[in-house]
Amino acid sequence: MILGVDTSTYLEELEAGNKFYFNGKEVDPLERFVSNGVDYMRIRLWHNPYSLDGKKYGAGTCDYDYFKRLAKLAMSKGMKILLDIHYSDFWVDPAKQVLPKAWQNHTYLQIIQDVYDYTKETLSKAKKDGIVVSLIQIGNEITNGLLWPYGHLLDNPDGGVRLNYDKVCAFLKAGIKATREECPDCKIIIHLEKVYDTPRYMEYFNELKKYDVDYDIIGASYYPYWHGTFDDLYRTLNLCRDTFKKPIMVMELGYAFTLEDYKEGCRDHLVIREDTYNQFGFKKEFDFTPEGQAAFVKAFLKRAEEEKLDGIFFWEPLLIPGEGICWGTKAAQEYNVGGFVKDERSDWCNQCFADYKGNLLPAFDAYTLKK
């Protein structure tokens, strides 16, 4: 089983001067991950994460140059690389899949070509730069499609299968074609979320089969506050594995070690906090404490081995707060949501494997398959 981490913001952490400690001594967290058996780093890539006047979007401002530097660092530590192409200038997920600024006046057919050209160019540059991309995601959390509005999966007013799978599959096939040509050994992942919704997964992958989409791995996000129980996760993924004969992986995993904000007096900024963690009916089995987070990690890994899961990636375990560390700048939010709606700060820091001062928590060393 692959054991990976997505530490896409790590270089920004270092640039902010953040450090990590174990028992009071400074440590290299990537080296410690590798010593614990973590063998992959997942790195996101945004098309052009800068405003038209050159302002950074933040959260790593993950352009190709950033990807190159982080991938080379990870490889120097002994990690393999998973490239997560968002096909957008900033975050994408089921609620938003914004076209890159450079493609926003392009037709549907032009965007198919854009996806092919961009994917091929990216992988070609990676090869020239000595980066071996072993796994690739064509899109990120594309449960509701990608490259909206063309690839937006919409409810069918007549019921049944959602609309626009033909366009979604055309985009996927363009990215996959480029990948097969440029990196034939690279395995291709289709990544969804809402893993509790088994019918949605069956619809999605049946449509990919219908349109002859050539992929290798079925991936899911799993955050228990939103995505159900372990039983829900494996009901869906095991059915997908049995039906479509593909390996199954969890591409994003997370669990909080506290509900207290890193800024005194803040009550409504963290994504997971006292008034939000159970809004979708989540029944807490593990406490939101360092010990509870570690217990969650151990239980998840145990069940994953029992179910023969093919891979796990913990999402942003090193995203501790610091100067300039934020989920999105004002410029980014204007691109992604049409306006500035949140403070320029990080709202995910209570899900890390380190506390707010960089001290490694028990979950860090619990994230291992070594006995």
pLDDT tens column, 76-120 = 999 999 999 999 999 999 999 999 999 999 999 999 999 999 999
| 324-350 average pLDDT score | 86
Rounded mean pLDDT, 333-339: 83
The pLDDT value given to residue 280: 84
Q: Answer yes or no: is pLDDT of 367 > 90.
A: yes
**pLDDT at site 275:** 87
Query: Is-above-0.95 flag for pTM?
Result: yes
Query: What is the DSSP-derived secondary structure letter of residue 274?
Result: T
Phi, psi of 189 (to 5 degrees): -115, 135
Question: Could you read off the pLDDT of 206-218 as tens digits, one per residue?
Answer: 999 999 999 999 9
Give the closest residue to 79 by CA, choosing from 22, 116, 36, 47: 36
Closest CA to 371 of 286, 301, 295, 296: 301
Q: What is the pLDDT, as a whole number, of residue 340?
A: 60
For 202-216, 240-254, 270-284, which range has the lowest pLDDT when averaged over its residues? 270-284
pLDDT of residue 74: 98
pLDDT grade, residue 245 (50/70/90)?
Answer: very high
How far apart, in whole angstroms, are the C-alpha atoms of residue 57 and residue 54? 9
Residue 170, pLDDT score: 99
User: What's the whole-number average pLDDT of the chain?
Assistant: 96
Q: Give me the long-range contacts of 154-163 (CB less than 8 A, separation at least 24).
A: 161/203, 161/207, 162/203
Contact 343, 268 (CB under 8 A): no
DSSP 282-307: ----S-SSHHHHHHHHHHHHHHHHHH
Q: What tokens were used for 23?
A: 């028992």
The answer, yes or no, to whether residue 243 has pLDDT greater than 80, is yes
Least confident of 142-151, 262-271, 317-326: 262-271
pLDDT value at residue 296: 98
Residue 52 pLDDT level (bands cut at 50, 70, 90): very high
**For residue 108, which amino acid is it?**
Y
Collapse the DSSP code of 23 into the 3-class scheme (helix H, G, I; strand E, B; otherwise coil) and give the result: coil
Q: Give strand ranges (E) for the chain.
A: 2-6, 20-22, 25-27, 40-45, 80-85, 133-138, 187-192, 217-222, 248-253, 311-315
pLDDT(339) > 70: no
Separation of alpha carbons 74 and 21, rounded Å: 19
Whole-angstrom Cα distance, residue 117 to residue 115? 6
Average pLDDT over residues 350-362: 98
State the pLDDT at residue 341.
62
Tell me what percent of the residues of the chain surpass a pLDDT of 90: 91
pLDDT, one tens digit per residue, over 17-42 is 999 999 999 999 999 999 999 999 99
